[in-house]
Amino acid sequence: MADEPRRGTHGRRHRPRARPSPRAVHRRRDRGRDRALPGGEVDRPVAGHDDRDPPPRRRRTRNPLDLAPRLGLVIVDRTDEELRYALPCKWGLVEEDVLPAWVAESDYAWAPPIAAALADAVARGLTGYPDFEVGGALGEAYAGFALRQFGHEVDPAAVIPTADVTAGVRLALDILSEPGPVIMPIPGYPPQLSIAQVTGRQRVDLVVDPDAERAEIDLDALDRLFADGALTLLLTQPHNPWGRVFTRSELEGIRDVVRRHGARVVSDEIHAPLVLDGSPPHTPYLSLDGTADHAVAVVAGSKAFNTQGLKCAQILAPDPATRDLLRDVPMARNDSWSPLGVTAAIAAYTECDDWLDALRARLSAQRDLLVDLLAEHLPEARMRPLEATYLAWIDLRGYGHDDPAAVALEHGRVRLSPGHDYQPGLPGHVRLNIATSPERLTEIVRRMAKALA
């Protein structure tokens, strides 16, 4: 089948891609370390500068992408010190000797156009309320991005801003779903385990067997849950923490079951830009025929572009009646979004395709490195192929610890996300965030092995 993933391309039987030499990694770190200046100017060192070289010649330009072809588009690793300031949750909530590999944030600097747009906006004082516009420049920007990245035609008017993806999912359930049970594929993103309840609805779990070779939605089980009274499916695709990209045919199967029962779908597609090498492309749920009348998607650039704290996600509502319902919600119900978030999102969606390509290449290399590191240091670990996201779901039951994340923290000084947060009662699993440097990832796995093995 054309859209099936190439199995075994990055499982444990995978043949490793050539790893960058430490020197190449070092060079890459120094290159392109940009400092955004007020007014959108960028002050950047010359390519290939090394700390031991004489002070770099400075160039100034208004457009950070002007120099990109000469510098090479690179993903810049922030230092530990920078990260303790930049990521107050991921890095700030752990002790200094702990390596954080938990919360879904990356350790990379912003894409230069985002840095420039934010510096310009701050310099010009953009801290007022947003203009509360639906569609508009943000809608145009997202529509262009969706067309280039996913081949999906989106009407800019269908793009409704909201504070973040969690708020968007909650709002969609609240406003669009009849009060009734919500199906949640499990293991699932922890804050969404309680989202049905927060909206006064019951959560019903569709659990994936931890021993299944492939994590997927069992269509017969889905059918039964709808037959038993569930009214909404909370879909996440690509999936965190499964690391899966759903194929078009899988999604069509889900759509057909949903339609048979007259049910609704809320499709959380926050990880859509993060499909890794060798995986099928992301298929937006709303790009399938026959979905507009029963589904909305919630999207954001915040995971791929590391702007989580800026608060601007988007609900896609192609059906005009659905759109009106969402647009007309009382202000007290839709958390407001931030104008800086809108600024960052527009820059991300319009000027960062090349940077995103570089990010996906870096994350694909990190994934391959993880596969090698696990084979070398934790041979009993089991990991399904990581097709998308930078969040690896690892089965460590072979090491006999109920809570390997707690053991890794206590004895290895590395913070992972415990598997039981994603599936209550599930022993022996962790989620590991690979969006860091190859050196840190190597140290994380080395420390895990010291603690667990």
Per CB under 6 A, residues contacting ligand PLP are 104, 164-166, 189, 236, 240, 268, 270, 300, 302, 308, 313
Cβ proximity to ligand PLP: between 106 and 437 the closer is 106
The minimum distance between CB 207 and ligand PLP, in angstroms, equals 17
The minimum distance between CB 17 and ligand PLP, in angstroms, equals 26
Cβ proximity to ligand PLP: between 244 and 362 the closer is 244
The minimum distance between CB 236 and ligand PLP, in angstroms, equals 5
The packing angle between helices 136-150 and 339-351, to 10°, is: 30
The 59-61 sheet, strands edge to edge? 35-36, 42-44, 59-61
Cβ proximity to ligand PLP: between 73 and 160 the closer is 160
Q: How many CA atoms does the CB half-sphere of 3 hold within 13 Å?
A: 12
Cβ proximity to ligand PLP: between 345 and 445 the closer is 345
d(CA 184, CA 157): 29
Q: How many CA atoms does the CB half-sphere of 212 hold within 13 Å?
A: 12
Beta bridge partners of 266: 234, 296
Reduced 3-state DSSP string for 277-346: CCCCCCCCHHHCCCCCCCEEEEECCHHHHCCHHHCCEEEECCCHHHHHHHHCCCCCCCCCCCHHHHHHHH
Cβ proximity to ligand PLP: between 164 and 387 the closer is 164
The minimum distance between CB 103 and ligand PLP, in angstroms, equals 8
How are beta strands 391-395 and 414-415 bridged, if at all?
Answer: unpaired
Which stretch of DSSP H or E encloses residue 182? strand 182-186
d(CA 249, CA 387): 16
13 neighbors 259 (Cβ within 8 angstroms): no
How are beta strands 417-418 and 203-207 bridged, if at all?
Answer: unpaired
The minimum distance between CB 22 and ligand PLP, in angstroms, equals 31
d(CA 168, CA 315): 6
318 neighbors 292 (Cβ within 8 angstroms): yes
CB neighbours of 216 closer than 8 A, spacing ≥ 6? Answer: 208, 244, 250
The minimum distance between CB 241 and ligand PLP, in angstroms, equals 8
Cβ proximity to ligand PLP: between 112 and 243 the closer is 243
d(CA 445, CA 453): 11
The minimum distance between CB 435 and ligand PLP, in angstroms, equals 11
DSSP state of 409: I
Cβ proximity to ligand PLP: between 65 and 275 the closer is 275
Question: What would the two tokens of residue 438 be?
Answer: 């190859």
Cβ proximity to ligand PLP: between 189 and 226 the closer is 189
The minimum distance between CB 348 and ligand PLP, in angstroms, equals 14
Cβ proximity to ligand PLP: between 107 and 164 the closer is 164
Cβ proximity to ligand PLP: between 31 and 237 the closer is 237
Helix (H, G, I), strand (E, B) or coil at 197: helix
The minimum distance between CB 268 and ligand PLP, in angstroms, equals 5
The minimum distance between CB 309 and ligand PLP, in angstroms, equals 9
Beta bridge partners of 234: 266
Which stretch of DSSP H or E encloses residue 68? helix 68-71
